[in-house]
Amino acid sequence: MRRIKITLAYDGTDFHGWQVQPGLATIQGALEDVVSEIEGARVAVAGSGRTDAGVHALAQVAAFTIANPIPLPNLRKAMNRLLPPAIRVTAVEEAAQDFHPRFQARAKTYEYRLWRAEVCPPFVRHFVYHYPYPLDVAAMAETAPVFEGEHDFSAFAAADEKDALGGSKVRRIFSSRIEDAGERLLYRVRGSGFLKHMVRNLTGSLLEVGKHNATIDTLRELLAPGSKAKAGPSAPARGLFLAEVEY
């Protein structure tokens, strides 16, 4: 048997997220259908993490096990021929039999994109949050690093079915930065792992700072041990990209 690691990019606009859901179009579901067709038997595909409905990926990582001896370049071509155009496999490689894209990931980087100009070009509308209103970008940039370090991010997490297991919501953020690129404002955050809706909630909180509805101290309070408060509005899914997974 062969353990195959793939890197893929996708436009999440028309998908109900990564995870398989009966009767709904998902990234994992599309991959499993295609790999199963190539293998001639049902194949499970594991990902580095779940992206929500409408979220995109520049370099998601997934893995599966097959017996088919198809050469790697041909496997990539076959998958891309069978997959919908919104999903593309960019790299394929052999991996160790025990490789798991989620459990062995050391860090992930997400990028959130805001479009600041008055008019949003139709060609980018599915890939940015159009926000043509006043923002104090300097305050946002000054505040973004407050998330760095190890914190309990409960205030920035949406309810998850896994909450019943009582897992820790402590995560380590290695970098959290705002980049002003003119018409496009980027928020890039790199961490050991992320909770459900966490990046969208971090972004939404920084937007509240930019609107002068919150301050750096407000966010520090949300990160304080034992805090029961919740972060402000979550940023829309369409501006979010999984940019990189490191091993």
Active centre residues (catalytic) = 52
Give the side-chain half-sphere CA count within 13 A for 50: 16
Pure H helices in 58-186? 72-82, 137-143
Measured between alpha carbons, how far is 209 from 177 in angstroms, rounded to an integer?
A: 14
Q: How open is the CA angle 141-146-149, to the nearest 5 degrees? A: 130
Reading phi first (left if > 0) and then psi (alpha if -120 to 50, else beta), residue 197 is in left
Strands (E), 54-134: 56-66, 87-95, 107-115, 129-130
- Chain position carrying tokens 């990582």: 61
* Strand ranges inside the chain, DSSP E: 2-10, 46-47, 56-66, 87-95, 107-115, 129-130, 149-152, 170-181, 184-191, 240-246
Q: Whole-angstrom Cα distance, residue 174 to residue 177?
A: 10
Q: What are phi and psi of 47, to 5 degrees?
A: -110, 170
Residues written for the chain: 247
